[in-house]
Amino acid sequence: MPLSEHEQRMLEQMERALYAEDPKFASALEGSGLRTYTRRRVYQAVAGFLVGIALLMAGMVAKQVWLSVVGFLVMLGCAVLAVTGWRKAPKPGEQTGAPLHARHQGRARRSVMDRIEQRWQRRRDEQQGH
């Protein structure tokens, strides 16, 4: 569920205040949280891949084709998760420069939201003028 305009503005103000008060602490929180999350996701995917191998082998030993297929699908899914998590992980010391919530929004979406907000402001101003 996306944040409302008011909530986004409040979040941006809090982030700016945090950066102004203690930029070192704010950048440490920003980078390490994402880095820890992606590292944990990659480790979970590797563990899932190993479980998939075990299922594949168990299916071959028990001559249960469906179990081997499930093991292969688990391996494939975990491999995709591991690769995408590895690519998204920021390098140690790398900073994106964007606030946490702004990374999830594309540039095009941001411009659309800006236009909508400008139109809303114009309508509100016109209604107050009459």
Handedness of CA 45, 50, 53, 54 (dihedral sign): negative
**What Cα–Cα distance (Å) separates residue 117 from each residue in 23, 110, 111?**
30, 10, 10
DSSP state of 98: S
**Nearest to residue 83, comparing CAs of 38, 31, 35?**
38
Contact call for residues 3 and 101 (beta carbons, < 8 A): yes
Print pLDDT tens along the chain (130 aa). Answer: 577 788 778 778 877 777 778 777 666 666 556 667 777 888 899 999 999 999 999 999 999 999 999 999 999 999 998 888 766 655 555 544 445 445 445 555 567 778 788 888 888 888 887 6
**pTM of the prediction?**
0.46
